[in-house]
Amino acid sequence: MKERIAHLIKEAVESLFGVKESRFRVEVPREKGWGDLSTNVAFILSKSLKKSPKEVGDVLAEYLSDAGLFSDVRVEKGFINMDIKREVWIKEFASLIREGADRKFQKNIGKGEKVQVEFVSANPTGPLHLGHGRGAVVGDVLCNVLEFFGYAITREYYVNDAGNQVYLLGKSIYARYMELMGKSYPFPEEGYRGEYIRDIAEDIVREKGDMLLSLSEEEAVDFCVEYGLSAMLKRIKEDLEDLDVHFDVWFSERSLYDRGLVDEVIRILKEKDLIYEKEGALWFKSSLFGDDKDRVIRKSDGNYTYFASDIAYHYEKFSRGFKKVINLWGADHHGYERRLKAALKALDIPEDWLEVYFVQMVKLFREGKEIKMSKRSGEFVTLRELTEEIGKDAVRFMFLMKRSDTPLSIDVDVVKEKSSENPVFYVQYAHARMCGISREMKNRYGIDNLPEDFARYLNLLSLEEEMDLIKKAVMFGDELTEIVYKKEPHVITYFLYDMASLFHSYYNSHRIVGDDINISMARYTLTKGLKEIFAFALNFMGVEAPESM
């Protein structure tokens, strides 16, 4: 709807003033009296046209009045406030019911463009924690929306299975193994002390017995590296699947080395004279491309840095033909963005090809107190624990409660509670109530479905609250579309919450299925449409829309 009106305004501006203008906004104004929609276009034009906003607005308003779409167009304090005809809203809502929300809101924005979204990508050296889970859900929902709008999405997880950390994982497991076998072996200083390491070591004992004792230390640690990696990955996959998050590609960092891609990018950068040697290490001149300083890509001990393989990885992504790549990173990586972008620039990859978004950490509260996580002691709240405690729906919903780049707090007690304090239940309950109305309609009037001519009933709706619900439902398409550009899937949660609030209020003050069959039919039809929207929106979030609770 917004888009339709923005288009209309553009046309009006062009035919009235002969200029193209697209910087203006069409928005739902804060105050009800300011129209269904409002635009600031007159302010923007007043500068270039050297006329007052009022003058510009008056001319535009008159033009727009003739479009047949509005019941009223007026200029107030320079804003053009527009009321859309009731029958237009009703017609839109009716077609939403008839076609279904997915047909109604579908737009082929992506046109099949290949886009890769890389998210989670947690190191396979420990269980997923809450921040990873948040990234998983945000990424997944973002992908759902992009797919809906016609992008060919690849969901990808980058597995850091190379480098020192996996060696440490292997060593930690080996140390626990030796411990279990009654041998003394020092636990590595920087090793992973979590309970899961011991679990893996126990699995090895169960499967292989004392087999490792007959190997050299090096061979045994190698074995533990491989065994540990696959065990960790298996757990990570399970944790994600329990949240209904699935990846198309699990990309191995190691494979970049095996395929010679790391050497290849370094060779390319060398040819461009962007690599130099200093103190036995190899440096990339990232400072030439906006980074604060140059960065090491091969250490003096001959090992490559993580940065080196990451350049190769993104180079590889580019060669796979993705038109755009979206990375969701933990907030502790924000300093890294500039470095990577510098490298991509050096490789002549367009600047806007890579978009990076950050996911902030999640804090857990219980009985009003924060549950502190400590990686050092190996004790922290894992994603698995939270999922087991509050369930998939609540986890997904809560992770979508805020913009992903702001820290999130979750109070476990509240989420487990079945009351209005719990937003998950609040929203799901609204849907369940809508289903309850369908049941009542059947019990009382034997009506099981909408008749062919259901639209005429919508005309009988006379309450302001009913129109508010209809308007908001129709405009959900606009909010969803914005996610494509702004990458902020939490707006779905806000929409559902607002919608639920409007509905609960309506439900409380008006009988929906009552003595008057016509009014009952009208309100039932309204509810049907709302239910459609709720199921549609919840589906994007990957949260159940329960029939009853």
CA distance 73 to 159: 56
Interaction between residue 79 and RNA (CB under 7 A)? yes
Per the rule left: phi > 0, alpha: psi between -120 and 50, beta: everything else, 35 is left
Reduce the secondary structure of 144-164 to three states and give it as a string: HHHHHCCCEEEEEEEECCCCH
In terms of CB distance, is 178 or 458 closer to RNA? 458
Interaction between residue 255 and RNA (CB under 7 A)? no
Interaction between residue 509 and RNA (CB under 7 A)? yes
User: Scanning residues 157 to 216, which ones bind RNA (CB under 7 A)?
Assistant: 160, 162-165
In terms of CB distance, is 178 or 492 closer to RNA? 492
Report which DSSP code applies to 417.
S
Tell me the HSE value of 426 on the side-chain side, using a 13 A CA sphere.
Answer: 22
User: Scanning residues 442 to 501, which ones bind RNA (CB under 7 A)?
Assistant: 482, 486, 488, 494, 500-501
Q: Which stretch binds RNA (CB under 7 A): 175-183, 219-227, 294-302, 345-353?
A: 294-302
In terms of CB distance, is 260 or 280 closer to RNA? 280
Q: Please select the residue that binds RNA; options are 383, 512, 522, 538, rule is CB under 7 A.
A: 512
CB of 282 to RNA, least distance (A): 9
In terms of CB distance, is 47 or 270 closer to RNA? 47
Mark 217-246 with x for binding to RNA (rule: CB under 7 A) and - for no binding.
------------------------------
Interaction between residue 409 and RNA (CB under 7 A)? yes
CA distance 261 to 267: 10
CB of 524 to RNA, least distance (A): 8
Reduce the secondary structure of 181-237 to three states and give it as a string: CCCCCCCCCCCCCCHHHHHHHHHHHHHHCCHHHHCCHHHHHHHHHHHHHHHHHHHHH
Tell me the HSE value of 235 on the side-chain side, using a 13 A CA sphere.
Answer: 21
Interaction between residue 544 and RNA (CB under 7 A)? no
Handedness of CA 396, 398, 403, 409 (dihedral sign): negative
Interaction between residue 299 and RNA (CB under 7 A)? yes
User: Scanning residues 33 to 52, which ones bind RNA (CB under 7 A)?
Assistant: 33-35, 38, 40, 43-44, 47
User: Scanning residues 121 to 160, which ones bind RNA (CB under 7 A)?
Assistant: 123, 160
User: Scanning residues 382 to 401, which ones bind RNA (CB under 7 A)?
Assistant: none
User: 107 to each of 104, 147, 211, 460, 481, how far by Cα in Å?
Assistant: 9, 11, 60, 31, 9
Q: Please select the residue that binds RNA; options are 305, 355, 356, 471, rule is CB under 7 A.
A: 305
Size of the site for RNA (CB under 7 A): 88
Interaction between residue 375 and RNA (CB under 7 A)? no
Report which DSSP code applies to 545.
-
CB 201 within 8 A of CB 176: yes
Interaction between residue 335 and RNA (CB under 7 A)? yes
Interaction between residue 278 and RNA (CB under 7 A)? yes
CB of 288 to RNA, least distance (A): 16
In terms of CB distance, is 44 or 538 closer to RNA? 44
One DSSP character per residue, 16-85 reads: HHS-------EE--SSGGG-SEEE-HHHHHHHHHTS-HHHHHHHHHHHHHTTSSEEEEEEETTEEEEEEP
Mark 349-368 with x for binding to RNA (rule: CB under 7 A) and - for no binding.
--------------------
Q: Please select the residue that binds RNA; options are 102, 418, 445, 451, rule is CB under 7 A.
A: 418
CB of 506 to RNA, least distance (A): 8
Which of 93, 99, 104, 100 lies closest to 522 in space, CA to CA? 93
Q: Which amino acid is at 105?
A: F
User: 215 to each of 38, 188, 199, 210, how far by Cα in Å?
Assistant: 75, 19, 21, 10
Q: Please select the residue that binds RNA; options are 301, 348, 352, 452, rule is CB under 7 A.
A: 301
CB of 186 to RNA, least distance (A): 19
SS3 state at 267: helix
Q: Please select the residue that binds RNA; options are 306, 392, 447, 484, rule is CB under 7 A.
A: 306
